[in-house]
Amino acid sequence: MIKILLPLLIIILIYFPYFYVRYIYQNYNKSLDLMPFNGREFADKILKDQDLKEVQIESQKATLQNFYNPRNKSIGIESDLLNKKSLTALSIIAHEVGHAIQHKENYKPLIQRHELLEKTVVFRTIGSSIVTLGVGPIFAFTNSLSLTLIATIIALLFFCIEIFINLFTLKCEYDASFNRAMPILKDNVPSEYIDQCKKVLNAAALTYVANSIIRVLSLRNFFFIFLRLLKR
């Protein structure tokens, strides 16, 4: 029984942040007819209110990949959110504008966050390359448990570094959500929706962590390899 429950518990812990973020986003992404503006109109309004006219809004197709780029002062928002009058849309946009406000006020953790996030791309690429080009071929050509284990540990190390970097940036994310975005939402959203907005802001702060953890999915190929090795 323990052999079944322990892997199940690990899987739940790995997937929980990702599915929590997705659940919150989807649950509060219903259009509210009484809202006076959609996502893009809200973004234009609060950028003007915060004297951030130089910040550009960019529409993008990827989900759970909203961002603020301090290098070119741009905010990337899912196209669906820009066209919706939902609490998810307004809260996520307020969160990303919160990062722009941090930048305007020279909030140092934001710059550190951006530099660290750029490094995560490197670690993610190395880890993925080891999984794709290392673990499989090593097992296929050598059938060696020790060599496969070494390659696996190295790949896991790079994925874990990305997760820890994203955990380190949580302070910046929560500041953007609750010290910057929340006052904006309180000024623009009816008070009966504020508690729901808090839930979306909390999910927005966890997005990078959730995305980095879910990349453990890319390790599924050598999980199967290990199962085969252990049965030998």
The residue segments making up the domain with residue 62 are 2-230
pLDDT in tens, 64-116: 789 999 999 999 999 999 999 999 999 999 999 999 999 999 999 998 888 88
Q: What pLDDT does residue 190 have?
A: 92
Domain count for the chain = 1
Specify whether the CB–CB gap between 120 and 212 falls below 8 A.
yes
Per-residue pLDDT of the chain (232 residues; tens, 9 = 90+): 666 666 667 667 667 888 899 999 999 999 998 898 999 999 999 999 999 999 999 999 887 789 999 999 999 999 999 999 999 999 999 999 999 999 999 999 998 888 887 777 777 777 767 666 666 666 666 666 677 677 777 777 777 777 788 788 899 999 999 999 999 999 999 999 999 999 999 999 998 888 777 766 555 555 555 555 555 5
**Three-state DSSP class for residue 1:** coil
Angle between the N-to-C axes of helices 87-104 and 194-214, in degrees from 0 to 180, rounded to the nearest 10: 80
Q: What pLDDT does residue 126 have?
A: 75
Q: What pLDDT does residue 156 have?
A: 75
Q: What pLDDT does residue 157 have?
A: 78
Q: What pLDDT does residue 41 have?
A: 97
Classify the phi-psi angles of 190: left when phi > 0, otherwise alpha if psi is within -120 to 50, otherwise beta. Answer: beta
Provide the whole-model pTM: 0.81
- For 138, counting Cβ atoms within 10 Å of its Cβ (0-12 exposed, 13-18 middle, 19+ buried), the class is buried
